[in-house]
């Protein structure tokens, strides 16, 4: 007896939304790993020192004051990874709204870049974006593109439906 193939991705709206958000978090982790590597390569080539922007943001937002340089570096990395992971939720929300694939990746990159250019000046840990050098903006955009493309590819890969094309039934 031969049966039709079936799709394993039928589920309720809330289950699908939760799945999109969870996949967004995983994609955010992978995007953060990619942007970290991208930044390390860029710093090696340019001689730029690592950014302490994440720890400065944590100090402003959460009133946290690390006791020494080691604690500051640890907090800096924790905030960097937490923020990057959380930004993956944007990709999940885009899917909930029906925006997927390449367009979602472009929107994700744009939103992440815009957040950087808005939040950092609002926290007074960077000058207004209108005062940023063109080179700085392009480097940020390059890194955020690495993040967004990696997160997008990971998200789309996780979001594919698993189709069972052959159902074996033995009598």
Mean pLDDT, residues 66-79? 95
- Of 81, 82, 100, 80, give the one whose Cα is nearest residue 92: 100
Is 81's pLDDT higher than 80? Answer: yes
Q: Please say whether the beta carbons of 50 and 109 come within 8 A.
A: no
pLDDT category of residue 87 using cuts at 50, 70 and 90: very high
Q: What is the pLDDT of residue 13?
A: 80
Share the mean pLDDT of the chain.
91
Mean pLDDT, residues 66-77? 95
Mean pLDDT, residues 17-29? 96
Summarised one tens digit per residue, pLDDT across range 130-147 is: 999 999 999 999 999 999
Task: Report the C-alpha gap between 55 and 44 in whole angstroms.
Answer: 21
pTM of the model: 0.86
Task: Report the C-alpha gap between 44 and 148 in whole angstroms.
Answer: 22
Take residue 116 and report the two structure tokens written for it: 């950087």
| Cα–Cα distance list, 147 to 16, 82, 109, 124 (Å) | 24, 14, 8, 24
- The SS3 assignment for 164 reads strand
Beta bridge partners of 6: 164
């Amino acid at each position: 007896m031969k049966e039709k193939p079936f799709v394993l991705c039928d589920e309720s709206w809330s289950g699908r939304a939760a799945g999109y958000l969870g996949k967004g978090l995983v994609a955010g982790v992978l995007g953060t790993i990619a942007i970290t590597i991208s930044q390390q390569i860029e710093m090696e080539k340019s001689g730029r020192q690592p950014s302490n922007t994440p720890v400065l943001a944590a100090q402003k937002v959460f009133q946290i004051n690390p006791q020494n340089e080691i604690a500051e570096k640890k907090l800096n990395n924790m905030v960097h990874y937490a923020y990057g992971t959380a930004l993956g939720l944007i990709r999940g929300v885009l899917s909930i709204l029906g925006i997927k694939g390449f367009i979602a990746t472009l929107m994700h990159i744009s939103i992440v870049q815009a957040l950087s250019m808005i939040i950092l000046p609002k926290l007074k840990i960077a000058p207004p974006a209108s005062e940023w050098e063109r080179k700085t903006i392009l480097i940020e955009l390059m890194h955020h593109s690495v993040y967004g493309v990696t997160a997008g590819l990971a998200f789309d890969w996780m979001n594919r439906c698993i189709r069972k094309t052959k159902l074996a039934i033995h009598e």
